[in-house]
Amino acid sequence: MSQLMTETRAKKNITVIGGLANLVLSVFKIGCGWFAQSHALVADGFHSLSDLLTDGLVYYASHHAGQEADEKHPYGHARFETLATVILGALLVATAGGIIWNAIAGFFNDDVLLHGWLVITIVMISVLSNEVMYQLTMKIARDTKSELMKANAWHHRSDAISSLVVLIGVGLDMAGFQYFDSIAAIIVGLMVAKVGVDLALNASKELVDTALDEEVVEKIKQIILDASGTRELHFLRTRKMGDTALVDVHILVDPKISVSEGHLISERVRLSLIKGVENIGEVTVHIDPEDDEIYSPSVDLPLRHRLIGQLNESWEGIAEKDGVSNVTLHYLDGKVEVEIELPLEVINNISEARDVSEKFKKKTLTLPEVTDVKVLFV
């Protein structure tokens, strides 16, 4: 079984346990709250009932986010978790509105809190069970590095805190402070609304590809600049997809190195970022011989196959033309620098080498794109 499947199973299992706990708690809270005429406990019960919807949403998102990348989703399915988190936040805000509305209505009736100790007992059980669920879910969140699991864990923690608020409100009501039960319910509603807004906003940032935190971006820059062979960097872009960070960057290297050396530098940068920054899963490194962030001066120059044909035409009449073993083209600053390699056998002495070099340089520089020519005898 793959690690992804193992993590998905753990997420789904803890979500099912949380759903069952919320179902039991909601039944007891609503029933006992109605029996004892406690608006705060009824509100907390509906809060727990709404958690069943969020648990279902988390389960669905975890199932789909845990699937491997496929042809239609080449980057994977992690955004299912992100979208689910936005919906979860919106549901919490809606639930909070209902809780507050019900609590305000409590100011206009004369119901007296009954069986206060029953209410307190149920609330204390709620606090304990939600705190246990927080600890278990947060462990899964840390193990799988899942923001959705972390959000769901804090959801359990917010339930525990809201139940504490209910406990305080009921205690004050039993002590003779009228309407504190309804006031406690309103506080619970506001707390639930804040959790919902925070979850939705943070997840929305990911959906619109918001960059990673500034300190993380600075760390990424430093790792890139510290890599051997990197001269500068530009066009750095970062974003998140689920619990994974993605990085795209252009780095400036010596323009005269080989393609294979440039590739090696890019691989070293990629591996250094994955190893040095937590949660980075994919890095794309583009190698640049010059800074093309604003303008690419060489983009309209003729490509190799066309330029080689022009060079061969310009070399007509040079006896050593057929001995050319390799031509290297450097596209820099809107011009082309040409390196011509010839075998040592075509010359007998230094004087001949100078003559051959001059013939090639003179002919090659007739091309308007060429700004420099080097002839190498190897």
Q: Which two tokens stand for residue 7?
A: 């993590």
Confidence of residue 181 (pLDDT cuts 50, 70, 90): low
CA distance 242 to 79: 6
Asked, colleague to colleague, whether 214-288 and 304-377 share their fold, the answer is: yes
Domain 304-377 coded CATH 3.30.565.10: no
Helices 350-364 and 304-314 pack at an angle, to 10 degrees, of: 120
What fold does the segment set 214-288 form as a domain?
Answer: Alpha-Beta Plaits (3.30.70)
Q: Which helix (H) or strand (E) holds 283?
A: strand 280-288
DSSP 8-state symbol, 343: -
* Structural domain spans, the chain: 3-207, 214-288, 304-377
Evaluate whether 220 touches 230 at the Cβ level (below 8 Å). Answer: no
Sequence-ordered list of residues with C-beta below 8 angstroms from that of 28, at least 6 positions apart, any chain: 45, 122, 125
Query: Of the given ranges (21-35, 262-276, 347-361), which has the lowest mean pLDDT?
Result: 21-35
pLDDT of residue 295: 67
pTM of the predicted protein model: 0.68
**In this prediction, what percent of the chain has a pLDDT beyond 70?**
85
Predicted confidence (pLDDT) per residue in 70-129, tens digit:
777 767 667 777 887 788 788 778 877 877 776 776 676 555 445 556 667 777 888 888
For residues 360 and 291, the model is more confident at: 360
Predicted confidence (pLDDT) per residue in 5-47, tens digit:
777 777 778 888 887 887 887 787 787 767 766 666 677 777 7
pLDDT of residue 141: 84
Backbone angles phi, psi at 75, to 5 degrees: -95, 10
pLDDT of residue 71: 77
pLDDT of residue 324: 92
What does the pLDDT average to over 336-346?
93
Q: Alpha-carbon dihedral of residues 146, 152, 155, 159, nearest 10 degrees? A: -130
Class of domain 3-207: mainly alpha
DSSP SS3 for 126: helix
pLDDT of residue 237: 93
What does the pLDDT average to over 302-321?
92
pLDDT of residue 102: 67
What does the pLDDT average to over 326-336?
92
pLDDT at 311 over 60: yes
